[in-house]
Structure 1
Amino acid sequence: MKKVLYAVTLGCALIVSISAQAANKIAVVNVVDIFQQLPEFVTVTQTLENEFRDRTNTLQSMERELKTQIQHLQRDRLTMKESEQLRMEKDILQQREEFNTKARIFEQDNRRRQIEERNKILHKIQNAVQKVANLQGYDLVIDQSAIAYCTKSKDITADVLKQVK
Protein backbone atom coordinates (compact mmCIF):
# COMPACT_ATOMS: atom_id res chain seq x y z
CA MET A 1 0.00 0.00 0.00
CA LYS A 2 2.86 2.35 0.84
CA LYS A 3 4.42 1.67 -2.57
CA VAL A 4 1.17 2.60 -4.37
CA LEU A 5 0.78 5.77 -2.32
CA TYR A 6 4.42 6.62 -2.98
CA ALA A 7 3.95 6.02 -6.75
CA VAL A 8 0.79 8.18 -6.87
CA THR A 9 2.51 10.97 -4.94
CA LEU A 10 5.55 10.80 -7.21
CA GLY A 11 3.29 10.83 -10.29
CA CYS A 12 1.40 13.90 -9.04
CA ALA A 13 4.68 15.66 -8.28
CA LEU A 14 5.94 14.93 -11.80
CA ILE A 15 2.73 16.22 -13.38
CA VAL A 16 2.88 19.44 -11.34
CA SER A 17 6.55 19.98 -12.17
CA ILE A 18 5.99 19.28 -15.89
CA SER A 19 3.06 21.70 -16.06
CA ALA A 20 5.06 24.31 -14.14
CA GLN A 21 7.99 23.79 -16.49
CA ALA A 22 5.71 24.08 -19.54
CA ALA A 23 4.26 27.33 -18.17
CA ASN A 24 7.77 28.79 -18.03
CA LYS A 25 8.18 28.17 -21.76
CA ILE A 26 5.31 30.39 -22.86
CA ALA A 27 5.92 33.95 -24.06
CA VAL A 28 3.79 36.82 -25.29
CA VAL A 29 4.46 39.21 -28.16
CA ASN A 30 2.57 42.31 -29.31
CA VAL A 31 2.59 41.95 -33.11
CA VAL A 32 0.53 45.12 -33.70
CA ASP A 33 2.99 47.21 -31.70
CA ILE A 34 5.95 45.76 -33.60
CA PHE A 35 4.18 46.28 -36.92
CA GLN A 36 3.53 49.96 -36.19
CA GLN A 37 7.06 50.65 -34.93
CA LEU A 38 8.81 49.22 -37.97
CA PRO A 39 10.30 51.73 -40.41
CA GLU A 40 8.98 49.55 -43.24
CA PHE A 41 5.42 50.41 -42.15
CA VAL A 42 5.91 54.09 -43.01
CA THR A 43 7.85 53.25 -46.17
CA VAL A 44 5.17 50.87 -47.42
CA THR A 45 2.44 53.41 -46.68
CA GLN A 46 4.26 56.07 -48.71
CA THR A 47 5.03 53.62 -51.52
CA LEU A 48 1.39 52.64 -51.82
CA GLU A 49 0.29 56.28 -51.77
CA ASN A 50 2.72 57.04 -54.60
CA GLU A 51 1.67 53.94 -56.51
CA PHE A 52 -2.01 54.90 -56.42
CA ARG A 53 -1.64 58.70 -56.53
CA ASP A 54 -2.49 59.10 -60.23
CA ARG A 55 -5.57 56.94 -59.97
CA THR A 56 -6.66 58.75 -56.80
CA ASN A 57 -6.30 62.12 -58.52
CA THR A 58 -8.23 60.86 -61.55
CA LEU A 59 -11.08 59.63 -59.36
CA GLN A 60 -11.18 62.88 -57.40
CA SER A 61 -11.28 64.85 -60.63
CA MET A 62 -14.10 62.67 -61.97
CA GLU A 63 -16.02 63.16 -58.74
CA ARG A 64 -15.64 66.95 -58.85
CA GLU A 65 -16.76 67.06 -62.48
CA LEU A 66 -19.74 64.89 -61.73
CA LYS A 67 -20.78 67.09 -58.79
CA THR A 68 -20.41 70.19 -60.94
CA GLN A 69 -22.66 68.73 -63.65
CA ILE A 70 -25.26 67.66 -61.09
CA GLN A 71 -25.28 71.17 -59.59
CA HIS A 72 -25.56 72.68 -63.07
CA LEU A 73 -28.50 70.42 -63.87
CA GLN A 74 -30.27 71.23 -60.61
CA ARG A 75 -29.67 74.95 -60.98
CA ASP A 76 -30.67 75.26 -64.66
CA ARG A 77 -33.27 72.52 -64.90
CA LEU A 78 -36.21 74.92 -65.14
CA THR A 79 -34.68 76.94 -67.99
CA MET A 80 -33.44 73.97 -70.05
CA LYS A 81 -35.21 72.33 -72.92
CA GLU A 82 -36.50 68.90 -72.11
CA SER A 83 -34.25 67.21 -74.68
CA GLU A 84 -31.19 68.99 -73.29
CA GLN A 85 -32.21 68.04 -69.76
CA LEU A 86 -32.63 64.36 -70.73
CA ARG A 87 -29.28 64.35 -72.52
CA MET A 88 -27.56 65.85 -69.48
CA GLU A 89 -29.22 63.35 -67.12
CA LYS A 90 -28.11 60.52 -69.38
CA ASP A 91 -24.53 61.86 -69.42
CA ILE A 92 -24.54 62.18 -65.63
CA LEU A 93 -25.78 58.60 -65.20
CA GLN A 94 -23.15 57.31 -67.61
CA GLN A 95 -20.38 59.22 -65.83
CA ARG A 96 -21.63 58.02 -62.45
CA GLU A 97 -21.51 54.39 -63.63
CA GLU A 98 -18.00 54.90 -65.02
CA PHE A 99 -16.90 56.54 -61.76
CA ASN A 100 -18.39 53.75 -59.63
CA THR A 101 -16.71 51.08 -61.76
CA LYS A 102 -13.31 52.78 -61.60
CA ALA A 103 -13.69 53.41 -57.86
CA ARG A 104 -14.56 49.76 -57.20
CA ILE A 105 -11.58 48.52 -59.24
CA PHE A 106 -9.34 51.05 -57.49
CA GLU A 107 -10.49 49.87 -54.05
CA GLN A 108 -9.92 46.22 -54.97
CA ASP A 109 -6.41 46.92 -56.32
CA ASN A 110 -5.53 49.09 -53.35
CA ARG A 111 -6.78 46.52 -50.84
CA ARG A 112 -4.92 43.71 -52.64
CA ARG A 113 -1.63 45.65 -52.60
CA GLN A 114 -2.05 46.60 -48.94
CA ILE A 115 -2.61 42.95 -48.03
CA GLU A 116 0.46 41.90 -50.05
CA GLU A 117 2.69 44.44 -48.31
CA ARG A 118 1.23 43.73 -44.88
CA ASN A 119 1.82 40.00 -45.34
CA LYS A 120 5.48 40.64 -46.27
CA ILE A 121 6.00 42.57 -43.04
CA LEU A 122 4.08 40.01 -40.97
CA HIS A 123 6.22 37.22 -42.45
CA LYS A 124 9.33 39.11 -41.39
CA ILE A 125 7.90 39.54 -37.87
CA GLN A 126 6.95 35.84 -37.76
CA ASN A 127 10.52 34.84 -38.59
CA ALA A 128 11.87 37.16 -35.89
CA VAL A 129 9.44 35.71 -33.31
CA GLN A 130 10.57 32.19 -34.17
CA LYS A 131 14.22 33.18 -33.92
CA VAL A 132 13.78 34.87 -30.52
CA ALA A 133 11.66 31.97 -29.22
CA ASN A 134 14.32 29.46 -30.26
CA LEU A 135 17.13 31.53 -28.74
CA GLN A 136 15.30 32.00 -25.44
CA GLY A 137 13.89 28.46 -25.30
CA TYR A 138 10.17 29.21 -25.55
CA ASP A 139 7.85 26.45 -26.70
CA LEU A 140 4.85 28.68 -27.31
CA VAL A 141 4.51 32.34 -28.23
CA ILE A 142 1.06 33.92 -28.12
CA ASP A 143 -0.03 37.26 -29.56
CA GLN A 144 -0.87 39.69 -26.78
CA SER A 145 -4.25 40.50 -28.31
CA ALA A 146 -5.32 36.89 -27.69
CA ILE A 147 -4.82 36.96 -23.91
CA ALA A 148 -6.30 38.93 -21.04
CA TYR A 149 -3.21 39.28 -18.84
CA CYS A 150 0.46 38.40 -18.80
CA THR A 151 3.41 39.49 -16.69
CA LYS A 152 6.05 41.68 -18.26
CA SER A 153 8.63 38.96 -17.76
CA LYS A 154 6.91 36.84 -20.41
CA ASP A 155 6.70 39.67 -22.98
CA ILE A 156 9.31 39.32 -25.73
CA THR A 157 8.05 42.19 -27.89
CA ALA A 158 11.17 44.32 -27.39
CA ASP A 159 13.45 41.40 -28.26
CA VAL A 160 11.49 40.64 -31.42
CA LEU A 161 11.51 44.33 -32.41
CA LYS A 162 15.31 44.41 -32.07
CA GLN A 163 15.54 41.26 -34.18
CA VAL A 164 13.31 42.65 -36.92
CA LYS A 165 15.10 45.99 -37.16
Structure 2
Amino acid sequence: MKKIVFAFLVSLLMLPTMASAETKVGVIDTNYIMTKTPEREAIQQTLSKEFKGRKGQLEREFKKLEEDRTNYMSNAKTMSATQRTTTERDLKKRSSDFKLKEEAYKEDFKRRTQEEMKKLGKKLQQAVDAVAKRGGYDLLVDRRAVPYIGPGVQDVSEQVLQELSK
Protein backbone atom coordinates (compact mmCIF):
# COMPACT_ATOMS: atom_id res chain seq x y z
CA MET A 1 0.00 0.00 0.00
CA LYS A 2 2.78 2.39 0.93
CA LYS A 3 4.53 1.50 -2.31
CA ILE A 4 1.46 2.49 -4.29
CA VAL A 5 1.17 5.86 -2.53
CA PHE A 6 4.92 6.45 -2.87
CA ALA A 7 4.76 5.61 -6.58
CA PHE A 8 1.88 8.03 -6.95
CA LEU A 9 3.77 10.85 -5.25
CA VAL A 10 6.87 10.24 -7.37
CA SER A 11 4.72 10.20 -10.47
CA LEU A 12 3.23 13.56 -9.53
CA LEU A 13 6.73 15.01 -9.37
CA MET A 14 7.49 13.54 -12.78
CA LEU A 15 4.19 14.64 -14.31
CA PRO A 16 5.56 17.72 -16.12
CA THR A 17 8.19 15.62 -17.89
CA MET A 18 5.66 12.94 -18.70
CA ALA A 19 3.14 15.41 -20.10
CA SER A 20 4.82 15.45 -23.47
CA ALA A 21 4.56 11.66 -23.82
CA GLU A 22 1.39 9.58 -24.10
CA THR A 23 0.73 8.30 -20.63
CA LYS A 24 -1.87 5.67 -19.90
CA VAL A 25 -3.28 6.22 -16.43
CA GLY A 26 -5.67 3.99 -14.52
CA VAL A 27 -7.17 4.01 -11.08
CA ILE A 28 -7.75 1.32 -8.47
CA ASP A 29 -9.86 1.35 -5.34
CA THR A 30 -7.87 -0.62 -2.77
CA ASN A 31 -10.63 -0.33 -0.14
CA TYR A 32 -13.08 -1.95 -2.53
CA ILE A 33 -10.59 -4.64 -3.50
CA MET A 34 -9.72 -5.45 0.12
CA THR A 35 -13.38 -5.77 1.13
CA LYS A 36 -14.25 -7.95 -1.85
CA THR A 37 -11.28 -10.31 -1.87
CA PRO A 38 -12.10 -13.79 -0.57
CA GLU A 39 -8.67 -13.97 1.06
CA ARG A 40 -9.70 -11.38 3.62
CA GLU A 41 -12.48 -13.64 4.85
CA ALA A 42 -10.06 -16.57 4.92
CA ILE A 43 -7.62 -14.50 6.99
CA GLN A 44 -10.38 -13.62 9.45
CA GLN A 45 -11.38 -17.27 9.78
CA THR A 46 -7.78 -18.38 10.25
CA LEU A 47 -7.15 -15.80 12.95
CA SER A 48 -10.44 -16.61 14.62
CA LYS A 49 -9.49 -20.30 14.80
CA GLU A 50 -5.96 -19.49 15.92
CA PHE A 51 -7.08 -17.26 18.80
CA LYS A 52 -10.34 -19.01 19.71
CA GLY A 53 -8.87 -20.87 22.68
CA ARG A 54 -7.20 -17.84 24.23
CA LYS A 55 -10.27 -15.69 23.68
CA GLY A 56 -12.51 -18.28 25.33
CA GLN A 57 -10.12 -18.60 28.26
CA LEU A 58 -10.09 -14.82 28.75
CA GLU A 59 -13.88 -14.68 28.61
CA ARG A 60 -14.16 -17.44 31.24
CA GLU A 61 -11.62 -15.72 33.49
CA PHE A 62 -13.44 -12.41 33.17
CA LYS A 63 -16.79 -13.99 33.96
CA LYS A 64 -15.37 -15.76 37.02
CA LEU A 65 -13.67 -12.56 38.21
CA GLU A 66 -16.92 -10.59 37.88
CA GLU A 67 -18.85 -13.31 39.74
CA ASP A 68 -16.29 -13.26 42.54
CA ARG A 69 -16.45 -9.46 42.72
CA THR A 70 -20.23 -9.58 42.94
CA ASN A 71 -20.05 -12.23 45.66
CA TYR A 72 -17.51 -10.15 47.56
CA MET A 73 -19.70 -7.04 47.35
CA SER A 74 -22.69 -9.05 48.62
CA ASN A 75 -20.80 -10.74 51.45
CA ALA A 76 -18.30 -8.03 52.46
CA LYS A 77 -20.39 -6.85 55.39
CA THR A 78 -20.53 -10.32 56.91
CA MET A 79 -16.81 -11.02 56.46
CA SER A 80 -14.17 -10.43 59.05
CA ALA A 81 -11.60 -7.69 58.39
CA THR A 82 -8.96 -10.30 57.61
CA GLN A 83 -11.24 -12.09 55.13
CA ARG A 84 -12.12 -8.80 53.44
CA THR A 85 -8.47 -7.79 53.13
CA THR A 86 -7.46 -11.20 51.78
CA THR A 87 -10.35 -11.26 49.31
CA GLU A 88 -9.68 -7.69 48.14
CA ARG A 89 -6.00 -8.49 47.54
CA ASP A 90 -6.90 -11.66 45.69
CA LEU A 91 -9.40 -9.81 43.49
CA LYS A 92 -6.91 -7.01 42.76
CA LYS A 93 -4.17 -9.52 41.87
CA ARG A 94 -6.49 -11.53 39.62
CA SER A 95 -7.74 -8.33 37.99
CA SER A 96 -4.18 -7.19 37.33
CA ASP A 97 -3.22 -10.61 35.95
CA PHE A 98 -6.30 -10.59 33.73
CA LYS A 99 -5.43 -7.15 32.34
CA LEU A 100 -1.93 -8.34 31.47
CA LYS A 101 -3.27 -11.44 29.73
CA GLU A 102 -5.82 -9.36 27.87
CA GLU A 103 -3.18 -6.89 26.67
CA ALA A 104 -0.92 -9.76 25.56
CA TYR A 105 -3.84 -11.28 23.66
CA LYS A 106 -4.64 -7.98 21.94
CA GLU A 107 -1.00 -7.40 20.99
CA ASP A 108 -0.60 -10.94 19.63
CA PHE A 109 -3.84 -10.69 17.67
CA LYS A 110 -2.82 -7.32 16.23
CA ARG A 111 0.64 -8.61 15.30
CA ARG A 112 -0.79 -11.70 13.55
CA THR A 113 -3.39 -9.59 11.75
CA GLN A 114 -0.65 -7.27 10.50
CA GLU A 115 1.43 -10.24 9.34
CA GLU A 116 -1.47 -11.68 7.36
CA MET A 117 -2.45 -8.31 5.91
CA LYS A 118 1.16 -7.73 4.87
CA LYS A 119 1.07 -11.02 2.95
CA LEU A 120 -2.20 -9.96 1.33
CA GLY A 121 -0.67 -6.57 0.53
CA LYS A 122 2.18 -8.27 -1.31
CA LYS A 123 -0.30 -10.32 -3.32
CA LEU A 124 -2.25 -7.15 -4.07
CA GLN A 125 0.91 -5.44 -5.30
CA GLN A 126 1.67 -8.40 -7.57
CA ALA A 127 -1.88 -8.31 -8.93
CA VAL A 128 -1.63 -4.55 -9.56
CA ASP A 129 1.69 -5.05 -11.34
CA ALA A 130 0.23 -7.82 -13.51
CA VAL A 131 -2.83 -5.76 -14.49
CA ALA A 132 -0.68 -2.70 -15.22
CA LYS A 133 1.66 -4.66 -17.47
CA ARG A 134 -1.14 -6.52 -19.23
CA GLY A 135 -3.13 -3.30 -19.77
CA GLY A 136 -0.13 -1.24 -20.82
CA TYR A 137 -0.61 1.27 -18.01
CA ASP A 138 2.16 3.70 -17.20
CA LEU A 139 0.54 4.69 -13.94
CA LEU A 140 -2.08 3.17 -11.64
CA VAL A 141 -3.13 5.33 -8.71
CA ASP A 142 -5.28 4.65 -5.69
CA ARG A 143 -8.65 6.36 -5.77
CA ARG A 144 -8.14 7.67 -2.22
CA ALA A 145 -4.91 9.45 -3.16
CA VAL A 146 -6.46 11.61 -5.86
CA PRO A 147 -9.03 14.34 -5.19
CA TYR A 148 -10.44 14.22 -8.72
CA ILE A 149 -10.52 11.56 -11.39
CA GLY A 150 -11.80 12.46 -14.83
CA PRO A 151 -14.22 10.29 -16.77
CA GLY A 152 -11.49 9.26 -19.21
CA VAL A 153 -9.47 7.45 -16.53
CA GLN A 154 -10.29 3.77 -16.41
CA ASP A 155 -10.98 2.05 -13.07
CA VAL A 156 -9.26 -1.35 -13.13
CA SER A 157 -10.25 -2.44 -9.61
CA GLU A 158 -12.30 -5.39 -10.89
CA GLN A 159 -9.38 -6.59 -13.02
CA VAL A 160 -7.07 -6.41 -10.00
CA LEU A 161 -9.64 -8.28 -7.92
CA GLN A 162 -9.87 -11.00 -10.55
CA GLU A 163 -6.06 -11.22 -10.74
CA LEU A 164 -5.88 -11.41 -6.96
CA SER A 165 -8.36 -14.29 -6.81
CA LYS A 166 -6.34 -16.43 -9.24
TM-score (norm 1): 0.84
Instruction: Specify the SS of the correspondent of 1:27.
Output: strand
**CA distance in 2 between partners of 1:120 and 1:28 (Å):** 22
Matches within 5 A, 1:150-165: 150-151=149-150, 153-165=153-165
Shift of 1:151: 3.9
Structure 1, unaligned stretches of length 5 or more? 1-15
Shift of 1:51: 0.4
**CA distance in 2 between partners of 1:121 and 1:151 (Å):** 29
4+ residue runs of structure 1 moved beyond 3 angstroms?
Answer: none
Give CA-to-partner distance per residue, 1:77-115, whole Å, 9 cap, x none.
Answer: 111111000010011011011101111110111000000
The reply to whether residue 120 of structure 1 matches residue 119 of structure 2 is: yes
Identify the residue that residue 111 of structure 1 maps to in structure 2: 110
Q: Which amino acid aligns with 2:54?
A: R
Identical positions, percent: 28
Distance 1:156 1:20, change over 3 A: farther
Identify the residue that residue 38 of structure 1 maps to in structure 2: 37
Q: Which amino acid aligns with 1:60?
A: E
Q: Which amino acid aligns with 1:128?
A: A
Q: Which amino acid aligns with 1:26?
A: V
Shift of 1:154: 2.0
Instruction: Specify the SS of the correspondent of 1:148.
Output: coil
Shift of 1:21: 4.2
**CA distance in 1 between partners of 2:142 and 2:95 (Å):** 44
Give CA-to-partner distance per residue, 1:2-38, whole Å, 9 cap, x none.
Answer: xxxxxxxxxxxxxx9x61645x422111112111111
Identify the residue that residue 142 of structure 2 maps to in structure 1: 143
**CA distance in 1 between partners of 2:72 and 2:146 (Å):** 57
Higher helix share: 1
Structure 2, unaligned stretches of length 5 or more? 1-15
CA RMSD of aligned residues (A): 1.8
Asked if 2 retains the 8 angstrom alpha-carbon contact of 1:70 and 1:92, the reply is: yes
Shift of 1:139: 1.7
Number of residue pairs aligned between Structure 1 and Structure 2:
149
**CA distance in 1 between partners of 2:142 and 2:56 (Å):** 39
Give CA-to-partner distance per residue, 1:19-66, whole Å, 9 cap, x none.
Answer: 1645x4221111121111111111110110010000000000111111
**CA distance in 2 between partners of 1:131 and 1:42 (Å):** 23
Question: Which structure is larger by alpha-carbon Rg, 1 or 2?
Answer: 1
